[in-house]
Chain A
């Protein structure tokens, strides 16, 4: 049948080729049925985010002068250039008001696209459900095609609704559609990346991780390209799909042709994914499975040892990722002072206390972003508790003399120790690269402290995840929800002029901005105590509930 068709034959046999796609429609309907709530929520979340941001910022920049001034400050500040990107038309209301959601929003859309594709391809295959489906009249490309159609469709619906909501908020229609489609383009490009990584590894977790690492690399490339260019983005930005999404320049020229880069990229990566899919066996990745040990090593005798073993690969990947991020941030930071040449930025430097103040501001902004990234690691590590439980792998452990608290604490320990290691790596490597670039290795310690002060807030998010796992395990995704809410509070709170008590809900609000600020002990101690209380409550609740 289709399964035994080799690639060369497929090229000549058109009947064989169409056979490979049989059943795509049914699988697409199945995927829509499974995702109808999740997909709707995601799309609406993005649309609301765009619409609310557009209507809130319009009130701030009413005059052309106010927009130009704001834009020149942003364009003259490498920290904001690295984080958000460049404003290509300082007079444009849309370009100034949508800056914060441009690249960041595109990256989030891309992440959702990756998760969607992997969830309907490798995750299904790993769980064995695709085998059940593959034995029916379903071609071998059907699952991959259905997943791609689903995420491309989601991206397009998202783009159109976002554009309409921006038009509704009073922005020009052409720019609004360019903005929506730049998001969709990033989503489509990374849907293809997810399709590719899903062919490479046997585990959905690793496939997600690889694609997310690719996304992080793309974001960092454009951050470096945007921050180091003196009056425009350098070639580095043009190596990154996220960079392309920005170069569409919505509300600042609406360069539709750049969308072509994203589509060609998506097409090429998809072809590679299909080629790999045609070559490989069901359930297999590119790498053959090596035999393991015949008996367990001496170390593998406690739940903690097992937890470290299970998290080892993932933690290593994260370490590599944040180390690269830290190195890049550290090396950019040293150039910040030299690159500033606008009068507004010079003015700001004077107020902040010279070039050193500007570098510090950049570093502390980067540290808080990396703090949020590491919080995501803490959440995903703690969420392993739930996936071990639903996969029935907790049961055999809990049928031994290991108590529930001890088993759960093992994964929580990995989450806490792992996030500490990640922030140590961030601080150390950002500090060293900054120290070497600026010729003062004494800077390392200051940057390291700036990274480590993020830890209590990171632990609070781990604590929230553990609490939900203990109380309402079905809602464990709420850990991610909390991170998104805190992120939005931090990003949009100042724009909306939200009341302070609301902003105070986010643990990141209380994290000291270092280097360059004070180091108060109280918020750090209080956040750590809150995290400890959340974890304790979560473990206590888990001790009392049914397993399953």
Chain B
């Protein structure tokens, strides 16, 4: 299998800010690749480097077999891009923008354009300044999906879309995959990534901290176990791979490293199990685990080593008790502060 995008050791600085700090990314031809990371982690900067809009300071970047900076226009014939922040010309209609971008790209499938307009329920006669955020986003998505290209680069393409349109978008991306197209999908909607992507890369502070298939990543993380035992648990806290153990009489609750699942279940059945629920890790938990080390103030982590590191358990259990929504919001705050810095850099 060949690779559509291969990035290694990518560095990009804006003045004092090191937006990308040795980032690695490999997207295989024909796959839908999820590109995750907190706000300001460097996703959009990476995409702009891939599009030849920014020049890399260091590192190897190959896109469809070419150099994104030197071969920009030749490569752009073979890809379509949906920016995260779609800005339309105030006095051009949505239909005109779709056609213009398609023609500038080198052609548009008119049948597919009509089909997409209907599926996304988009009125092409409205002027750019009158579209809502979601509808501006739809204009860019339709323009990208209606062109005949090998690679789709989508930067948070569904931000602002309603759940119905989100479902339409997911169907469209599956169709694209079935036609053999490659998709790089940057997103914060983890359900979307879980349902669409074969492989994901998680980046943080301009570096890749995880990359692999979803099942590989799940394997690296923990399963939540809640069990009622026949007797008091013995030595469970000393067992390798057990975290956040809580004991209430015969009732136990803990997280376990997925690779230790087998041996811990054996330990439990030795005591005797009355009832047991286990919850496999969701992508969200995987994702949060990489964000929460921001909360703990860690700054230096090496690519790929993330899975082996653990946040302090006190913080972790606190996070566990908090609702997922609350936790995400906290992440948003931390990440937004950093986004401010790197955005300033981009703007200059």
- Is chain B a partner of chain A in the same complex? yes
**How far, in whole Å, are A310 and B89 apart by their CA atoms in the complex?**
8
Bound Cα distance from A518 to B20, whole angstroms: 61
**Which segment, of A7-15, A148-156, A397-405, A460-468, faces chain B?**
A397-405
Query: Which of A309, A399, A474, A546 is most buried by chain B, counting CB atoms within 10 A of its CB?
Result: A399
Chain A: CB-nearest residue to B105: A400
Say whether A393 contacts B88, CB under 8 Å: yes
Beta-carbon contact of B53 and A295 below 8 Å: no
Give the distance in Å from the alpha carbon of A398 to the alpha carbon of B95 in the complex: 19
Stretch of A38-46, A298-306, A508-516 contacting B (4+ beta carbons < 8 Å): A298-306
Q: A294-B125, A395-B53 are in contact. Are A548 and B99 (CB under 8 A)?
A: no
The chain A residue sitting closest to B53, CB to CB, is A547
Taking the closest CB of chain A, its distance from the CB of B3, in whole angstroms, is 20
User: Is A401's CB under 8 angstroms from B104's CB?
Assistant: yes
Task: Enumerate chain B residues within 8 angstroms of A545, measured Cβ to Cβ.
Answer: 55
A 347-394 contacts with B by CB, 8 A:
390-393
Q: Are B87 and A391 neighbours in the complex by a CB distance under 8 Å?
A: yes
Q: Does B161 contact A (CB under 8 A)?
A: no
With a cutoff of 8 Å between Cβ atoms, the chain A residues found around residue B55 in the complex are: 544-546
Indicate if the CB atoms of B93 and A292 lie closer than 8 Å. yes
Assess A300 versus B88: contact at CB under 8 Å? Given A400-B76, A403-B72, A548-B346: no
For chain B, residues 82 to 132, give those with C-beta under 8 angstroms from any C-beta of chain A.
83, 85-101, 103-106, 124-127, 129-130
Number of interface residues of A (CB under 8 A): 40
**Residue pair B90, A301 in contact (C-beta under 8 Å):** no
Interchain CB contact (< 8 A) of B76 among A301, A306, A399, A548: A399
Chain B interface bracket (under 10, 10 to 19, 20 to 34, 35 or more): 35 or more
Q: What is the CA–CA distance of A229 and B92 in the complex, to the nearest angstrom?
A: 48
The SS class assigned to the A binding surface is loop
Nearest-neighbour CB distance to chain B for A339, whole angstroms, equals 46
Q: By the criterion CB–CB under 8 Å, are B77 and A401 in contact?
A: yes
Give chain A residues whose Cβ lies under 8 Å from the Cβ of B140.
396
Q: Which residues of A contact B88 (CB under 8 A)?
A: 393
Q: Which residues of chain A are near B129, meaning CB under 8 Å?
A: 126, 202, 289
A448 to chain B, nearest CB (A): 33
Query: Are the CB atoms of A203 and B90 closer together than 8 Å?
Result: yes
A126 CB contacts on chain B under 8 angstroms: 90, 129
Taking the complex as formed, is B315 at the interface, i.e. its CB lies under 8 A from any CB of chain A?
no
Bound-complex Cα distance A292 to B72 (A) = 32
Partner of B51, one of A303, A310, A398: A398
* In contact, B92 and A403 (Cβ under 8 angstroms): no
Tell me whether B106 and A398 are in contact (CB under 8 A).
no
Question: CB of A291 within 8 A of chain B?
Answer: yes
The contact string, 1 if C-beta is below 8 Å from chain A, for chain B 19-58, is 0000000000000000000000000000010011111000
Within the assembled complex, what's the spacing in Å between the Cα atoms of A538 and B330?
Answer: 45
Provide a sorted-by-A list of 7 A–B residue pairs whose CB atoms are within 8 angstroms: A294-B93, A296-B95, A296-B100, A392-B86, A395-B48, A396-B86, A401-B104
B positions within 8 Å CB-CB of A? 48, 51-55, 72-74, 76-77, 79-81, 83, 85-101, 103-106, 124-127, 129-130, 140, 143, 153, 346-348
Q: Which 9 pairs from chain A and chain B are nearest by CB?
A: A292-B93, A296-B99, A400-B104, A399-B81, A291-B125, A296-B96, A547-B53, A301-B103, A392-B87
